[in-house]
Amino acid sequence: MNIRKQIKRKECGNHRAEEELRFKNALLSTQQETALDGILVVDENGGIISSNQRFADMWDIPSETMKSKSDERTLQAVMDRLANPENFLCKVKHLYEFRDETSRDELVLKDGKTFDRYSAPMFGANGKYYGRVWYFRDITESKTAMDKIKSSEQSLRELSETKSQFVANASHELRTPLAIIRQFIYLLDSGIAGPLVNKQKDCTSAALRNCDRLAELINRMLDLARIEAGKVNIDPSRVEPSLLLIQSYTDFLPKMETKKQRLILETPNNLPAVCCDPQTIASVLIELLGNAHKFTPEGGKIILGCRQEGQFLSVYVEDNGPGIPLKDQERIFEAFAQVDRQEGPGAKGTGLGLTIIREIVKLNGGSLSVSSTPGNGSRFSFTLPLFTTEKLLIQRVLVADNDKKSIHLIMQGLKRSGLQLDIKTASTGLQALVIAGTFHPHLVILDANLPDSMTPGVFKSLGRETLEKRGKVLMISTDQRILRSLVRQGVHDYLVKPFSVEQLLVKVAHLLGNEPNVKVNQADPARME
């Protein structure tokens, strides 16, 4: 091969490489320019490598500043627009120090706009650090929309409270005149005000009946308003299902007799105990049995029973009355729903009973439903959670340690704790702080020897963030002296490395307010370094 040809080939290769490079550049700059985010790329010293037009537009940076590529002037232009430039600078400095971190936060501008800021380091294939990319996105609109939703939620809550308060006051004010009316009708009805003829007596007894009906309606409205305002106290305890049912059963037997109805009690043996407030549940049973009695014709059959369904007890009241049409089955739970139901003779209902007991069942942790085939009776049933000794509450734990082996051992230990835990991990103090901001841990296990955890700001903020939410902080370190001094600064407890899984579990259980369910075993081989 002659030299000329060789040169020609080399030129050809160069040409191809150049072409490829040009293509990649075009691709990159197109990507950068078509992006919705403002993008800024800086080198390891913070010098500007490139930026897109969107970045300049968002931050209102004059084109001569952009052309100058001066990082100082660009930074100044950005700072000028921020509501809190110090925080911004603090974060930038931090990220230059801790090169491999990514970060995401929100920036508030002087003019009220909100930008989402995302930053990631730029590493080459060989692991060489080239600098950092910053993305900025204007989220003002979605932020404003979210604020609007929040404020309308707030005013809805206030409106609902006003309504409940109004009903409470109104029902109070209605009682006094009603009491007076009832008293005078009574004076007539009883003959105290003079003798009555039979027709007059019919009138007064109808008036008395309806005074009582109105009083009952006022009571129910007040009950519902109190439930809606969250003012009803549920006092749950461990209750035997048969005891829960038998009282209502015996109370209703004589009443059922008046319509020659058969009341049957179905409680299987060996049912597990439930967790509920027996007083409020008794009122639910009274309502359901009362309805069954009212709507079932003479000589009908009514069954009161219960059975286990998974983690719940299902309690049911079944009748062989006329049933409820499908279209009305959900509506009967609405307040004052107008439903065609034959009540038969006697006082009409208030139209609030089912609405109230559905709420009461909900407050007890269950749900109330109906199934019915018209012509074939109705079955109302509600669930109640079974009683368990375990704490079903899930507790959140944040583990901040930069040693993977150590994190692994802590995780293994926590999994053996028997507690229901939601665990998150962080490898730096700052990362832990960011996670704690949204995770609200019940417990933070923090290594005192993290590269930045002892940076006073991070430690203080993490501590405050956790303590504000009544969380606990458990510090771990190889240095007992540091740990002791930290306890004086508000840390709840500490463990000196190396420690055993059992030692950790005793501390964790104690800090989370549970009795440890593992015994301390000194000979445990798994020790943490």
Partner 1 sequence: MSAGKKILLIEDEPDFRFGVRMQLEANGYAVIEAEDGVAGLDAAREQSPDLIILDGRLPKMGGYEVARQLKGNQKYRAIPIVMLTARSQQSDKQTSQDAGADAYLTKPFDSDELVLTISKLLPR
Interface residues with partner 1 (CB under 8 A)? 171-172, 175-176, 178-184, 186-187, 190, 192-193, 211-212, 215, 219, 222, 226
Could you tell me the two tokens for 79? 């700072």
77 or 178, CB closer to partner 1?
178
Q: Which of 393, 397, 370, 400 is nearest to 382 (CA)?
A: 370
Closest alpha carbon to 503 in 416, 425, 393: 416
Nearer to partner 1 (CB atom), residue 171 or residue 296: 171
Amino acid at 510: H
Kindly state the smallest distance separating residue 178's Cβ from partner 1, in Å: 5
Nearest alpha-carbon partner for 179 in 212, 204, 219: 212
Nearer to partner 1, 174 or 386 (CB): 174
- C-beta of residue 297 within 8 angstroms of C-beta of residue 262: no
Separation between Cα atoms, residue 275 and residue 239, nearest integer Å: 6
DSSP codes, 228-292: HTT-PPP--EEE-HHHHHHHHHHHHHHHHHTTT-EEEEE--TTPPPEEE-HHHHHHHHHHHHHHH
Task: Report the nearest approach of partner 1 to the CB of residue 213 (Å).
Answer: 11
CB closer to partner 1, 183 vs 237: 183
Question: Which token pair is 502?
Answer: 């059992």
Residue ranges of alpha helices (H) inside 317-390 are 353-363
Contacts 24+ apart (CB under 8 A), 227-233: 227/356, 227/359, 227/360, 227/363, 228/160, 228/163, 228/164, 228/359, 229/160, 229/161, 229/164, 229/165, 229/168, 232/280, 232/360, 232/363
How far apart are CB 171 and partner 1 at their closest, in Å? 8
Q: For residue 263, with 0-12 CB atoms within 10 Å meaning exposed, 13-18 middle and 19 or more buried, which class applies?
A: buried
Q: Which is nearer to partner 1, 137 or 182 (CB)?
A: 182
- In terms of CB distance, is 81 or 201 closer to partner 1? 201
The CB-of-207 to partner 1 minimum distance in angstroms stands at: 12
Measured from the CB of residue 451, what is the shortest distance to partner 1 in angstroms?
57
Based on CB atoms, which residue is closest to partner 1, 227 or 433? 227
Nearer of residues 236 and 471 to partner 1, judged by Cβ: 236
The tokens for 263 are 């009341």
Identify the helix (H) or strand (E) that includes residue 132: strand 129-138
CB of 221 to partner 1, least distance (A): 11
Is 180 exposed, middle or buried (CB count within 10 Å of its CB: 0-12, 13-18, 19+)? exposed
Q: What backbone phi and psi angles, to 5 degrees, belong to 419? A: -90, 155
Q: Which is nearer to partner 1, 181 or 271 (CB)?
A: 181
| C-beta closer to partner 1: residue 183 or 412 | 183
Our CA dihedral for 33, 39, 42, 47, rounded to 10 degrees, sits at 80
Nearer to partner 1, 60 or 212 (CB): 212
- Shortest distance in whole angstroms from residue 181 CB to partner 1: 8
Query: Per-residue DSSP letters for 61-113?
Result: --HHHHHHT-HHHHHHHHHHHBS-HHHHHHHHHHHHHSTT--EEEEEEBTTS-
Q: How far is the CB of 189 from partner 1 (least distance, A)?
A: 9
Of the pair 175, 379, the CB lying nearest partner 1 is at 175
Token couple for 192: 């105290």
Q: How far is the CB of 212 from partner 1 (least distance, A)?
A: 8
Which of 97, 98, 51, 43 is closest to 74 using CA atoms?
51
Interatomic CA distance for residues 357 and 333, integer angstroms:
9
Closest distance of CB 191 from partner 1, Å: 9
How many Cα atoms occupy the beta-carbon half-sphere of 438 within 13 Å? Answer: 6
Question: Shortest Cβ distance from residue 355 to partner 1 (Å)?
Answer: 18
Please report how close the Cβ of residue 287 comes to partner 1 at its closest, in angstroms. Answer: 16
